Structure 1
Amino acid sequence: MCTVVIRVPESPEGPIQLLAVRDEDPSREWDPLGAWWGDRPGVIGVRDRRAGGAWLAADPGAGRLAVVLNREGSPELPEAEIASRGELPLDALRGEIPEVGRMRGFNLVKIVGGLGAAVTSWEGSGLLRTQTLAPGTHMLAHHDVDDPRTARITQWRGEFEAAPFEIWPELLIRTEKVGPDDDRAIIRDNRAHGWPTLTTLACLAEVHPDRAEVRYAELPTPGDPSPLAFS
């Protein structure tokens, strides 16, 4: 399951800072951060080649960013009728949420520079829930924001809160000391838990009222916490 760390400033004029770490089946191909959607000028993102949507997307010129994380829950539909969640970040940049009734559960992070950050959650049924994030440092994975049920949040949130944004990549690497199959791990190998997913990439972003700056790094070996080169 993916992990996101978000720092919301006290002043709306300050940048909202984000570290997003993606877990995925390495055999599911993706395209790195780039302008992949011709019908969405100005939008960049990490594209899933199979479904064509995005894991993370940003509109740098508008100061907007969105990223989607999986969570438990699924509609009672045949597999062929399940819709991809990859449209969520793209539509969120436009202030839209598509029909989610055919989607599995998700946490959708939406950041608008100068206005703030919010998380919309869906568990495959029921109602959408949206939480506006208060100033401070937050973590999110497959449960709720800052949820102590998620061991990596309990383990690492305080350290990210205390650390300057500039050393978050270094701190991310240091978290590997617990081992990639430990529940507390951020750089993960989930195969021991019955999932074929490993950590494959990460993005760093600062979202200002007038712009978004996004950097991208791939792990040379999925699940291996080698130093990351963000560019």
Structure 2
Amino acid sequence: MCTAIISVDPGARVPVLLAAVRDELAGRAWDLPGAHWPDRPGIVAGRDRAAGGTWLAVQAADGRVACLLNGFGRGCPGAARRSRGELPLAVAAGEGLDRARLPCYDPFHLVTADTDTVVLSSWDGAALRTRRLGAGLHLIVNSGLEGRDDQHPGNPTSPADMAARVAHFRPLLLAAPRPDPDDGTTAEAWAGWLPVVEGGGLAPADPRALLIRRTDRERRVFRSQSVSLLAIGDGTVRYDFTAAPATGTWHRVPVDAALPMRSRR
């Protein structure tokens, strides 16, 4: 996942909105969001088939969401490395970050959100930085909050492109009406943000693009695989998802289906 857009308005009916764009190798297999982990009842997430983890996890019973972005910094040696995809599963389940295991993970940014609190945890391979995100609009990319955290100029991905993305999309989002998701279709619930998160009219090769397609030096193709839209309010979560963000084809993920019957709202 390369971009997370978060709006926090404590006075709104839905205080926390999250849009998350996942960029990944085009050939890496994954499953649509669902209850894929029998040992984690109540968790709904897309599943990465290669490592078994996820990039975004929802725990509807507690109204909690956790989403992951790769970060920059010092990687973990191969023999000790753990998959970062296990982090959103643990955090969404309420387990928190195991600080003793942090050296086993490559750098990351992890957003944890519920109705009352949004926290950004950033690990660069040496130190963990934790910030509470207050009222307002926040954009997170691989180079950190508002693209300002990166201190590693040798990164394979250009921080300049990420800064350009933030600079282009921040005013568009600020000018758009803040969604107030309730019942109805994705187009009805997310009308203000939908034109932006569907690309805002930029071509995938544009350095500012939110929905990308890139080829690296090894001729591997990276592209935006999916977009998730989350509305968190009053202990509930609405989750809209598309695996074809350029087409406008969306569906609503039934997060309550993963809950025990007595917990469903």
Identify whether the pair has TM-score above 0.5, normalized to the shorter chain.
yes
Aligned partner (choices 106, 122, 143) of residue 108 of structure 2: 106
The answer to whether the aligner puts 1:156 opposite 2:158 as a matched pair is: no
| Letter of the 1:62 counterpart | D
1:122 is displaced (CA, Å) by 0.8
TM alignment of 1:42-53, pairs within 5 A? 42-53=42-53
Following the alignment from structure 2 to structure 1, what is the Cα–Cα distance between the partners of residues 13 and 193? 21
TM (norm. structure 2) is 0.78
**3-state DSSP of counterpart to 1:171:** helix
Question: Root-mean-square deviation (CA), in Å?
Answer: 2.0
1:70 aligned partner: 70
User: Per-residue displacement from partner, 1:75-130 (whole Å, max 9, x unpaired)?
Assistant: 351x34321001111111214113110211111010022x22111001122x1001
1:193 is displaced (CA, Å) by 7.3
Following the alignment from structure 2 to structure 1, what is the Cα–Cα distance between the partners of residues 196 and 235? 28
The answer to whether the aligner puts 1:172 opposite 2:197 as a matched pair is: yes
1:216 is displaced (CA, Å) by 1.2
1:39 aligned partner: 39
TM alignment of 1:1-231, pairs within 5 A? 2-11=2-11, 14-77=14-77, 79-93=78-92, 94-98=94-98, 99-113=101-115, 115-125=116-126, 127-147=127-147, 150-164=163-177, 165=179, 166=190, 167-177=192-202, 179-191=203-215, 196-219=221-244, 225-231=246-252
**Higher mean Cα deviation, 127-136 or 164-173?**
164-173
1:55 is displaced (CA, Å) by 0.7
2:156 aligned partner: none
Following the alignment from structure 1 to structure 2, what is the Cα–Cα distance between the partners of residues 193 and 229? 33
Structure 1 gaps of 5+ residues are: none
User: Per-residue displacement from partner, 1:38-58 (whole Å, max 9, x unpaired)?
Assistant: 111111011111111111000
Identity of aligned residues (%): 31
Structure of higher CA gyration radius: 2
1:208 is displaced (CA, Å) by 1.3
TM (norm. structure 1) is 0.89
Following the alignment from structure 1 to structure 2, what is the Cα–Cα distance between the partners of residues 80 and 143? 26
Query: Measured at CA, do residues 186 and 134 of structure 1 come closer, stay the same or move farther in structure 2, by a change above 3 Å?
Result: same
1:160 is displaced (CA, Å) by 1.0
| Letter of the 2:7 counterpart | R
Following the alignment from structure 1 to structure 2, what is the Cα–Cα distance between the partners of residues 227 and 12? 27
Query: Measured at CA, do residues 193 and 139 of structure 1 come closer, stay the same or move farther in structure 2, by a change above 3 Å?
Result: farther
Following the alignment from structure 2 to structure 1, what is the Cα–Cα distance between the partners of residues 205 and 145? 22
Contact 1:20 1:203 in 2 (8 A): yes
User: Per-residue displacement from partner, 1:155-194 (whole Å, max 9, x unpaired)?
Assistant: 10121122122231222224242x2122210000121676
Structure 2 gaps of 5+ residues are: 149-159, 180-189, 253-265
| Letter of the 2:172 counterpart | E
Contact 1:176 1:186 in 2 (8 A): no
Contact 2:197 2:227 in 1 (8 A): no
Contact 1:66 1:109 in 2 (8 A): yes
Runs (4+) of structure 1 exceeding 4 A deviation are 192-195
Query: Measured at CA, do residues 75 and 192 of structure 1 come closer, stay the same or move farther in structure 2, by a change above 3 Å?
Result: closer
| Letter of the 1:162 counterpart | A
